[in-house]
Amino acid sequence: MRYIITFFLFFFFLNHGFCQWTLIYEFPEFSDIKDIEINESNELFIAVDESIYKSSSEGISWDLKYSGSYEIRSIKFFGTDTGYAAKAYGDGTGICLRTVNNGEFWEIPLVFTSYWPDNNDLVLLNGHSIMLAGGQAVGYAQISDDSFETCDVKYPDPTTKSFSAIDCIGGDTCIIIAGDPYGFDDEVGGIFKTEDHGQNWNEKEIVNLGRDIVFTSKEVVYVLGVFDLLKSIDGGNTWNVVKSYNIDKFGEFCAIKFINDSVGYLGEKFNGLDSIAIYFTSNGGLSWSATEIPDLPISLSAIDCIDEKNCYFTTNAGEIYRTINGGMTSISVIDDYIDEVLILPNPINNIVTIYLNNAGLFNPILTNVFGQNCKFEIISRSPDLIKCDISNLTRGIYFISLDDNLNTTFKFIKL
């Protein structure tokens, strides 16, 4: 019986793409996932239409934790227990939800008597200080320093139709971008920066239809527009385009996720072609590789990651995809040291040979389908190849990474 189970699991992983992006869950038809958030305990939360769901099973199953009258557009957690969710509309019923018990119960801490439209994104500066971006006809940032018991409204740019996203580094430095993440109401808008906790905002650059923003450190920040991904290496004062949309496929950027200053993911959908692409970079956007998705969805709404290779993305059709190796069977990275790589033989019995230029510069890393490192022995090395003994491994699918920084990964089968 044990051998039958082993045989089944071997072919399951071989045929169901655990090496790429795998569809792990589908909500009912017409469900629209707006955001995905992972807290410090690696529990997942998603905003689906007017509801918030939680998963403690790595996305395999989901429990409903909140359902209301207006759609939820952004979820953010500070640590494990404290989280907030931005409601699309206030309408006298509050603009933000709060949880203090790990998402088990959500409350409206502050009820506004006036109408607050298009609350698009929020950011947590600490456990009790929050900034929320939105607007309609007038773009605004709302700031609360007491967990939304009270709230001040700031107007960085009264001429802007809406603000789509906001992010902060430290307690006082934030960047907010103009745009509409769910339509095409705004043509061109500004990138605004504050260094005094939202009291004053200065325009630093222009972005077309801003979608998202990510601080990865005090100096490095990324801003996503529909047609360009911009990067700043001086804290948001000056900007350069690091990737533009695919004009031939009528592309449109949808979401980004950066793990640190260098490693990140970028999602693009191709209008009229019913397809998407997710790009990966390990060098801060100098070069990009398209990750592989076996069952291609037609939309993409949000990306979040536990670490560099363990990531999730959601779609506007209620789908959740996951990868445990960055989404690739192999990643072609622009690098002067590598011209061509061959892994022979494949499938493999006991000895695997890696043929590549400058082999002496690389230290192979071996992982299984669960992302766990596996022990092996390098038995010989030359300028053109590395020979490894993997006789200690059980049969199954494995991955060889040539270098942890290059993220150049190749799949092989151990017999």
Interatomic CA distance for residues 107 and 91, integer angstroms: 16
Name which of 170, 166, 131, 136 is nearest 151 in CA terms.
131
Cβ atoms of 398 and 374 closer than 8 Å: yes
Please state, for a pLDDT cut of 90, what percent of the chain lies above it. 47
Going across the sheet that includes 96-99, the strands are 72-78, 82-87, 96-99
With a cut of 50, list the residues of the chain below it in pLDDT: 1-19, 330-339, 405-406
Cis bond upstream, residue 347 (ω within 30): yes
119: left (phi over 0), alpha (psi -120 to 50) or beta: beta
pLDDT score recorded for residue 93: 77
* Residue for token pair 């590549």: 356
Compute the distance between CA of residue 339 and CA of residue 356 in angstroms, rounded to an integer: 7
pLDDT at 113: 65
The amino acid at residue 357 is N
Q: What is the identity of the amino acid at 85? A: A
Convert 26-54 to b/e letters by CB count within 10 Å (16 or more is b): ebeeebbbbbbbbbeeebbbbbbbebbbb
* Predicted local distance difference test score (pLDDT) of residue 3: 36
CB 145 within 8 A of CB 102: no
pLDDT computed for residue 13 by the predictor: 40
Average model confidence (pLDDT) for the chain?
Answer: 84
Domains of the chain with CATH codes:
1-19+329-415 (2.60.40), 20-323 (2.130.10.10)
Q: What is the largest CA-CA distance in the chain?
A: 73
Among 332, 352, 334, smallest CA distance to 343 is for 352
pLDDT tens for 160-216 read 778 999 999 988 999 999 887 765 555 578 899 999 999 999 999 888 888 999 999
Residues pairing with 348 in the sheet: 414
d(CA 343, CA 125): 47
